[in-house]
Amino acid sequence: MVVEVKNLVAGYGQKALIRNLSFSVPSPAFVAIIGHNGAGKTTLFRAFQGKVAYEGEILAQSQNLRHLKNASGKGLLAYLPQKSTVNFPIKVHDLLVMGLFRKKRFFEDYSADDYTLAADILTQLQLPHLLNQDFTTLSGGEQQLIWLAQLKLQDATINLLDEPTQQLDVFYKNKVFSLLQEWVVKGGKTVLCITHDLQNLHHMQGYLLNLSKPNPILEAITPESVRENQAFLEAGRQPVL
Ligand SMILES: Nc1ncnc2c1ncn2[C@@H]1O[C@H](COP(=O)(O)OP(=O)(O)OP(=O)(O)O)[C@@H](O)[C@H]1O
């Protein structure tokens, strides 16, 4: 099993947002995590990272994340938050190579090969012109793509992406979803991706998990399942009791 979530209960204070959630991802796969605003999607990722108290178990490659130290340093988990900011000037290529931190010892400099990897990934994203720019001057969507590229360089087995296409134009939304599919099919990676872009899921292979449903389960992505979940979400929220 790549990912196994068993009887997960998580929330804040007395309010359980995730109630008795169980699902298994047996082999590398793309999983879209969907649901209304406030349904607990980011909270699920916080549980994976041990940033919120939870009951139940979360296993990654059969290792219990509750007891595992430094899952990102071990290349097991990588996380792309909804928003990250940088408050100082830094060149895009210098930010990108930081994704290679696992290959480095403390204070070891990044090499020419590292910068070549950074350049290659921007070429894949059709953004080579951004390589030498100051990251803080980029548009919101461009910054989002740079974070995604940095995450790819981490080369983790399981990737948790929180709305990676939120600020992107239609071209880049399509491009990012097809890249994520490639990470799974060619790279053998697992991608758990929180998204509100259901229209982009029609062409994906994998699963969806709708945390707004009373008993969420992994559903295979098909045109019908995407349509049914879209209609479910459009019908409105169930009151949280
Ligand atoms: N630290 C916290 N303390 C108390 N409540 C919190 C905390 N963090 C989040 N919440 C609440 O938990 C609920 C779920 O938040 P979460 O971020 O998991 O939602 P989400 O499904 O990712 O939503 P969105 O689609 O809007 O990003 C929200 O109502 C939020 O206000």
Which 3 state secondary structure label does DSSP give 41? helix
172 in a structural domain: no
Total number of domains in the chain: 2
Residue 133 lies in domain: 84-155
Average predicted confidence (pLDDT) for the chain? 94
Ligand 1 atom with minimal separation from the 52 CA: 1
| pLDDT at residue 239 in the model | 61
Same domain? 60 vs 112: no
Same domain? 88 vs 68: no
**From the CA of 229, how far away is ligand 1's center (Å)?**
21
177 in a structural domain: no
CB 23 within 8 A of CB 16: no
Give Cβ neighbours of residue 191 (< 8 Å, ≥ 6 apart).
Answer: 29, 30, 31, 159, 161, 180, 183, 184
126 in a structural domain: yes
**From the CA of 155, how far away is ligand 1's center (Å)?**
28
226 pLDDT more than 70: yes
149 pLDDT more than 60: yes
107 pLDDT more than 80: no
Same domain? 129 vs 11: no
pLDDT, tens digit, 9 for 90 and up, residues 49-101? 999 999 999 999 999 999 998 999 899 999 999 988 898 999 999 999 999 98
Helix orientation angle between 140-154 and 112-124, rounded to the nearest 10 degrees: 130
Percentage, residues of the chain above pLDDT 70: 98
CATH of the domain at 2: 3.40.50.300
**From the CA of 77, how far away is ligand 1's center (Å)?**
21
pLDDT, tens digit, 9 for 90 and up, residues 181-204? 999 999 999 999 999 999 999 999
Of 101, 135, 155, the position where a domain reaches its end is 155
Same domain? 72 vs 116: no
Strand ranges inside the chain, DSSP E: 3-12, 15-25, 30-34, 54-60, 63-64, 77-80, 158-162, 190-194, 207-210, 218-220
Higher model confidence: residue 109 or residue 219? 219
Give the whole-angstrom CA distance, residue 19 versus residue 15. Answer: 10
223 pLDDT more than 80: yes
pTM for the model stands at 0.94
pLDDT band at 41 (very low <50, low <70, confident <90, very high): very high
The answer, yes or no, to whether any atom of ligand 1 lies below 6 A from the CB of 212, is no
Tokens of 224: 């019908």
Going by CA atoms, what residue is nearest to atom 15 of ligand 1?
38
